[in-house]
Amino acid sequence: MAEKIKFSSDEELNLEYMYNIGLSHAKRGNTRDAIFYFDKVLSVEPQHTNALLYKGNALGKLGKYNDAISCYDMVLKINLDHHMTLINKGLALHYLKKYDKAVSFYDKILEKDPQNANVLYHKSCSKSLLKNSEEALTLLEQAIKIDPEYGKKAAGDLDFESLREDKRFKALTS
C-alpha cells in the first residue's frame, strides 16, 4: 500500500475546504461543480474516501453509473464494508438493470444490519424487477414495519409495477 502523504495543517485545511465546497455544490444540485472540487481533492489525496463517495454520487446523478461504480470500487478497496458505498454501488447496479448484482451488495449490508429499512426497500425493488414477487413483498413488508413511509414510497415506485394488482401489495401500500 502506498505511504500516506503527510500534509501541513494548512494543506489539510485547504483540502477539507475544497472538499466542503464540493459537498456544498452537491447538496445544491450543482453536480458538475461538485465533481470539479472533488477532483481537486482527489488530485492531492487520491484515497480520500468521502471525496470518492460523493464524486460517485454526483456521477450517478448525471446518469454515469459505470463511472460512479469506478469511484465506489476505489472506496471499497480502502474499506470493504463502507456502508454508504455498498448502498450506492447497489443502487448504481440497479439503475444499470443488473439487479442480481445489486442484491448482492444489499445482502452485504443486511448481514450486519438486518433491520435497515432503506436497504430492505431497495432489495425489494430489485427483487420485484427480477419477477420474484414473493420475496419482493416479504422484503417490502419488513421495510414498512420498520418505517411506514416506505409504504407510501412503494405506492408510486415504478419498480413495483408488476405488483400493482397484487392484494398483498395493495394492503401494504394503502
In CATH, what number is assigned to the domain containing residue 34? 1.25.40.10
Pair 109, 136 in one domain:
yes
Q: How far, in Å, CA of 105 to CA of 6, rounded?
A: 34
Residue 21 lies in a domain: yes
Residue 4 lies in a domain: no
Pair 73, 129 in one domain:
no
| Total domains present in the chain | 2
pLDDT in tens, 77-133: 999 999 999 999 999 999 999 999 999 999 999 999 999 999 999 999 999 999 999
Residue 13, pLDDT score: 64
Pair 101, 164 in one domain:
yes
Pair 104, 70 in one domain:
no
Residue 12, pLDDT score: 62
Pair 63, 121 in one domain:
no
Grid coordinates representing 30 are: 450543482
Residue 72, pLDDT score: 98
Domain, as residue range, for 155: 97-174
**Cβ proximity of 85 and 72 under 8 Å:** yes
Q: What is the chain's mean pLDDT, rounded?
A: 93
Pair 73, 28 in one domain:
yes
Pair 109, 73 in one domain:
no
- Please determine, for residue 5, whether its predicted confidence score (pLDDT) is greater than 50: no
The answer to whether the pTM exceeds 0.85 is: yes
Among 170, 173, 93, 159, residue whose Cα is nearest residue 128: 159
